Amino acid sequence: MAFDWSRYAVGGATRPDSFTGMRPEFREALERMFIAAPPELGLQVGSGYRSVERQRQLWEASDKSGRMVARPGGSRHNHGDAADLSASGLRLDKASAAARDWVHQNAGAYGLSFPMSYEPWHVELAGARGGKGAPSTVSTPSAALTSPEPLANRFTPQGPAPAVFGDVVGQTPVRTVPIDPAPSFGDLLAGQMQARQRYRQEQDQREAADRERRAALFGGGPFGVYR
């Protein structure tokens, strides 16, 4: 029996091609996650597949900066392997912490991921963006191996061995480097609290700016970002 997405579709996801245009493997992974999600979370899809033509319409209506709307063909929605999630009528970043946490903690079990930290509502098929392999490391021969000096000379002591007396080697005092004491637990805790406070302030500022841009471009609403 086909999964009834109409029960979970809101906003742009109510278009007829929102789910039929998805790549089958992405739609099936999303379906498995929705079946497993606790009903009380109210998980929904606010945007699914988006045609290039629809993306072009959104692009033309935007400021064309690429911050709020991706270029036509440049959104993973256009490729059918991305969706924007919401819960109980609110975009996921505005929804309950329970819904947001459950989705982020369990998405990987269904082959899904949230690749953009600045769009915590945007879920994709894991690996949809591809990956860049780490650059290979080429070892450089050391000077000892490339030196023209005869091998025997490199292992022959030159001159008498220095005398060692206590902390003096060859009459040269051994210097000790002072080590700063480890910070106390209280200092670490205070630093963490300050970092969290700065993060929350920055997040509030970003959200306020996001709301202003969305209102200016699309008249507000929970689904004003089309990346």
Quick: pLDDT tens for 86-99. Answer: 999 999 999 999 99
Quick: pLDDT tens for 23-56. Answer: 999 999 999 999 999 999 999 999 999 999 999 9
Residue 119 CA, chain-centre distance (Å), reads: 9
Q: Which CATH code is given to the segment(s) 5-129?
A: 3.30.1380.10
DSSP structure string for 106-144 = HGGGGTEE---TT-TTEEEETTTT--PPPPP--PPPPHH
Quick: pLDDT tens for 125-165. Answer: 998 887 433 222 223 333 333 344 444 444 444 454 444 33
How much is the pTM?
0.59
